[in-house]
A = this chain, B = another copy of it.
Amino acid sequence: MKDRYIPEKQVIENLGVEMEKMDVPPVHARIFILLLMVNPPYMSFEEIQEHLQVSKSSVSKYLNIMLEQGTLDYRTFSGDRRRYFYLNHEKLLNKIYTGASKFSTISGLMENCLREREGAVPEGKNEHLKEISDFFSFLGDGMTKLVNEYHARKLSDHDSQ
Q: In the assembly, what is the distance between CA of A125 and CA of B3, in Å? A: 11
Q: What is the count of identical protomers in the complex?
A: 2
Q: In the assembly, what is the distance between CA of A90 and CA of B143, in Å? A: 22
Residues from chain B with a CB closer than 8 A to the CB of A65 are: none
Would you call the interface of chain A mostly helix, strand, loop, or mixed?
Answer: helix
Decide if A155 is an interface residue (CB 8 Å cutoff): no
Decide if A67 is an interface residue (CB 8 Å cutoff): no
Mask, A31-62, CB within 8 Å of B = 1, is 00100110101000000000000000000000
Decide if A100 is an interface residue (CB 8 Å cutoff): yes
Partner of A37, one of B5, B11, B93, B113: B113
Mask, A129-149, CB within 8 Å of B = 1, is 101100110110011001101
Q: In the assembly, what is the distance between CA of A15 and CA of B110, in Å? A: 9
Contact yes or no, A1 B139, CB < 8 A: no
Decide if A150 is an interface residue (CB 8 Å cutoff): yes
